[in-house]
Structure 1
Amino acid sequence: MADAKAQPVRPLSPHLQIYRWTWTMAMSIFHRATGSALYAGTLLVAIWLLSMASGPEAYDRAAWFFGSPIGLLILFGYTWALMHHMLGGVRHLTWDLGHGFEPGTRMMMARLTLILSPVLTILIWIVAYVMR
């Protein structure tokens, strides 16, 4: 009688081994990662603003750091994370408005997020360099 009531042991939910990676899944993970990276980048922006308020010596140190190759690389990465997160937010806003749920549209929007984020980043840096 006890054998008749025994339920087969099954997982409670599908695991990553069952799912096939898709563009939308990858962009969702990137969106979360860039959101986390923006916390650290925003802390650097706050440090830069505090250095301006603290006087010329503090600002010179911050300007030296952000003008160094490592600082420029960090700023470039911050710009990319900001653009990628913004485009992901636009994608989610489009979904919130009830549009873009068709499979082809979802995939196109995910791909455009990945393609346009470095393009926008490079354009921003070119404009900043030209205006400098």
Structure 2
Amino acid sequence: MTEVILKKQRPKHLALNEIRLPLPGIVSILHRVSGVGLFLMLPLLLSLFGSSVGSPESYASYKAVVGNPLVKLLLLGLLWAYMHHFCAGIRFLLLDMHKGIELAAARNSARLVLIVSLTLTVLLGVKLW
């Protein structure tokens, strides 16, 4: 008896640029990225907070640092990271309670997380800028 073994043609490398994630997958990855970003920027945020409440001289240096457009852009990115992480965290808590686990509801809640987090970022960014 001859045995015919069919080998699957599998790629030798994973082409990340060809993978198309569904929207809930993108929200999940952004939730992780925003959490890491917030954690890594914690020393910067604590130093900014410390300089803002220390003394009038340190507050003046705080205003000079935060007045820089690049720092404002960085803080706007951190604001989005916080808003997204917060909104996606609520979504994941609801999913853990088995609310909205159907495909359509999961897609809608992922879309809602993106819309709400971006809207809150724009509103608070305009208010703070």
TM-score > 0.5 by shorter chain: yes
State the 1:54 CA deviation: 4.2
Match of 1:115 in 2: 115
Aligned counterpart, 1:90: 90
Structure 2 unaligned segments of length 5 or more: list them: none
Q: Distance in 2 between matches of 1:82 and 1:45?
A: 12
How much does 1:114 deviate? 1.4
Q: CA deviation at 1:20?
A: 4.9
Q: Deviations over 1:28-63 (max 9, x none)?
A: 110000001111333222101221454333332222
Q: Work out the number of aligned pairs and report it.
A: 122
Aligned residue in 2 for 1:41: 41
In structure 2, distance between residues paired with 1:78 and 1:20? 26
Native 8 Å contact 1:48 1:59 kept in 2: no
Q: TM-score, normalised by structure 1?
A: 0.76
Structure 1, unmatched stretches of 5+, are: none
Query: 1:72-91 alignment to 2 at 5 Å?
Result: 72-91=72-91
C-alpha spacing 1:83/1:99, structure 2 compared with 1 (3 Å): same
TM-score, length-scaled by structure 2: 0.77
Q: Secondary structure of 1:124's match? A: helix
Bigger drift between 53-62 and 97-106 goes to 53-62
Shift of 1:69: 0.5
Q: Which residue of 2 aligns with 1:32?
A: 32
Q: In the alignment, residue 105 of structure 1 is paired with which amino acid?
A: A
Q: Between the two proteins, what is the percent identity of the paired residues?
A: 31
Aligned-partner Cα distance in 1 for 2:108–2:29: 17
* Structure 1 match to 2:51: 51
What one-letter code is carried by the residue in structure 1 that aligns with 2:117? S
